[in-house]
Amino acid sequence: MENVAGKVVVITGASSGLGAETARHLVKAGAKVALGARRKDRLDALVEELGDDQAAAFKVDVTKREEVDAFVKGAIEQFGQIDAMLHNAGVMPLAPLAENRHEEWDQCIDVNLKGVLYGVGAVLPHMNERQSGQNLFVSSVAGHVVNPAGAVYCATKFGVRAIAESLRKEVKGNKLRTTILSPGAVESELPQSVKSDRVKGFVNDLYENTAIPASSFARAVVFAISQPDDVDINEILFRPTAQEM
Ligand SMILES: NC(=O)c1ccc[n+]([C@@H]2O[C@H](COP(=O)([O-])OP(=O)(O)OC[C@H]3O[C@@H](n4cnc5c(N)ncnc54)[C@H](OP(=O)(O)O)[C@@H]3O)[C@@H](O)[C@H]2O)c1
């Protein structure tokens, strides 16, 4: 794949779902991947599948800034450079505000927003110095449309788009590229983060009836990275054809 082969891509949230599938597609296209998440056993299994010359696993909790710094540093030590970073780790604890799920609010904001900021903060000095690189952010249809029970999750996904848009304008001069991926329902473990009994059933039905394979997301990432350096794909918003909302 033109402009993907040989690139080094760092992926947060690579232990399942969209992140893991994207790693597979990128390696198939000739890239090397640094995989980060808390479930190291999952990452090790993925490295075994992809080959340890093409992939490396790093245990990282994205809510801990020093761990994100160490992840990015480790990826540079392992592969010599970073050409792109997919800020993908996320949780979706949908629930009505009246349920007052404070711990879930904190976790959602810490992972989906602060985790993304820590990733940008860690990788930006390296990309700015090289005057080359691409940051890819994972927002959502929920970063465009708000539905009941989505207050906090949607706030983080609208926020991810705001972070990406600002970054895009800030780093133009350094020739960096900035991409937002905004998927609808895609098969992954994400529905498991819904704990509210009032929402679980609806979300499980939505995913069971409409979700499309994670390869849909992975192909979009490979497409955005594969563009020539003077083409900056800013956002890809997509849904399952069967998804109404
Ligand atoms: N699937 C969809 O329908 C959909 C739609 C729109 C947007 N998205 C977004 O896509 C992204 C990926 O989610 P997914 O659908 O692939 O769900 P998933 O299968 O549940 O994957 C989530 C990933 O995030 C990681 N993660 C969660 N908390 C973390 C933390 N504190 N530190 C490090 N990693 C953490 C998980 O790894 P560990 O648990 O091992 O740490 C896992 O690898 C998320 O940002 C999600 O909001 C998904």
Ligand 1 atom closest to 188 (CA): 19
Which active-site residues does the annotation give?
A: 153
CA–centroid distance, residue 99 to ligand 1 (Å) = 23
CATH superfamily of 8-238: NAD(P)-binding Rossmann-like Domain (3.40.50.720)
- Fill in the amino acid letter for 80: G
User: Stretch 206-226: mean pLDDT, rounded?
Assistant: 97
CA–centroid distance, residue 157 to ligand 1 (Å) = 13
Domain boundaries of the chain, sorted by first residue: 8-238
Query: Is there an atom of ligand 1 within 6 Å of 233 CB?
Result: no
Q: What is the pLDDT of residues 15-55, one digit of tens each?
A: 999 999 999 999 999 999 999 999 999 999 999 999 999 99
Query: Is there an atom of ligand 1 within 6 Å of 94 CB?
Result: no
pLDDT at 201 over 90: yes
Residues in the chain: 245
Query: Contact 85/117 with Cβ under 8 angstroms?
Result: no
Query: Is there an atom of ligand 1 within 6 Å of 145 CB?
Result: no
CA–centroid distance, residue 240 to ligand 1 (Å) = 18
**Residues in CB range of 11: below 8 A, 6 or more apart:** 19, 22, 23, 33, 34, 35, 36, 85, 86, 88
Query: Is there an atom of ligand 1 within 6 Å of 90 CB?
Result: yes
CA–centroid distance, residue 173 to ligand 1 (Å) = 31
Tell me which residue of 14, 113, 103 sits closest to 60, measured CA to CA.
Answer: 14
Q: What is the pLDDT of residues 136-176, one digit of tens each?
A: 999 999 999 999 999 999 999 999 999 999 999 999 999 99
